Structure 1
Amino acid sequence: MIRKIIEIQEEKCNGCGLCASACHEGAIGMVDGKARLLREDYCDGLGDCLPQCPTGAITFVEREAAPYDEAGISRLRQWPCQIKLVPVNAPYFHKAKLLIAADCTAYTYADFHRDFMKGKITLIGCPKLDGADYSEKLTEIIKNNDIRSVTILRMEVPCCGGLEMAVKKALQNSGKFLPWQVVTISTEGQILD
Structure 2
Amino acid sequence: MKRNIVKIDEEKCTGCGLCVDACHEGALQMVNGKARLVSESYCDGLGACLPECPAGAITIEEREADAFNEEAVKEHMEARKSEAPKTLACGCPGTHARTIERKDEAMPACGPAGQSIQAASQLRQWPCQIKLVPVNAPYFDNAQLLVAADCTAYAYAGVHNDFMRGKITVIGCPKLDDIDYTEKLTGILKSHEIKSVTVLRMEVPCCGGIVNAVKQALINSGKMIPWRIVTVSTDGKIIEE
* TMscore range, shorter length: 0.5 to 0.7
**C-alpha separation in 1, matches of 2:236 and 2:142:** 30
Aligned identity (percent) is 64
Residue identity in the other structure for 2:102 = H
Structure 2 CA distance for partners of 1:160 and 1:86, relative to 1, 3 Å: same
**C-alpha separation in 2, matches of 1:147 and 1:72:** 28
Residue identity in the other structure for 1:176 = K
Question: Which residue among 137, 148, 162 is the counterpart of 1:115?
Answer: 162
Q: Which residue of 1 aligns with 2:74?
A: none
Question: Which residue among 99, 107, 112 is the counterpart of 2:146?
Answer: 99
Structure 2 CA distance for partners of 1:79 and 1:23, relative to 1, 3 Å: closer
Question: Which residue among 218, 227, 232 is the counterpart of 1:171?
Answer: 218
Which runs of no fewer than 5 residues in structure 2 stay unpaired?
1-97, 106-116
**C-alpha separation in 2, matches of 1:172 and 1:156:** 24
Q: Which residue of 2 aligns with 1:24?
A: 102
Structure 2 CA distance for partners of 1:71 and 1:179, relative to 1, 3 Å: farther
SS at match of 1:81: coil
- Note if 1:86 corresponds to 2:133: yes
Which runs of no fewer than 5 residues in structure 1 stay unpaired?
1-19, 26-42, 45-69
**C-alpha separation in 2, matches of 1:107 and 1:142:** 27
Higher relative contact order (CA 8 A, sep 6+): 1
Q: Which residue of 2 aligns with 1:33?
A: none
SS at match of 1:169: helix
Rg comparison, structure with higher value: 2
1:77-97 Cα shifts (integer Å, max 9, x gaps): 000000000000111001000
Residue identity in the other structure for 1:76 = L
**C-alpha separation in 2, matches of 1:90 and 1:105:** 24
What TM-score, normalized by structure 2, do the two folds share? 0.52
Residue identity in the other structure for 1:24 = R
**C-alpha separation in 1, matches of 2:100 and 2:149:** 25
**C-alpha separation in 1, matches of 2:147 and 2:227:** 11
Q: Could you tell me how far 1:23 is from its partner in structure 2?
A: 3.7
Number of equivalences: 132
Q: Which residue of 1 aligns with 2:204?
A: 157
Q: Could you tell me how far 1:71 is from its partner in structure 2?
A: 5.5
Residue identity in the other structure for 1:189 = G
**C-alpha separation in 1, matches of 2:131 and 2:229:** 21
Residue identity in the other structure for 1:117 = M
C-alpha RMSD of the superposition: 1.8
1:81-114 Cα shifts (integer Å, max 9, x gaps): 0000000011100100000000000000001100
Q: Point out 4+ residue stretches in structure 1 off by more than 4 angstroms.
A: none
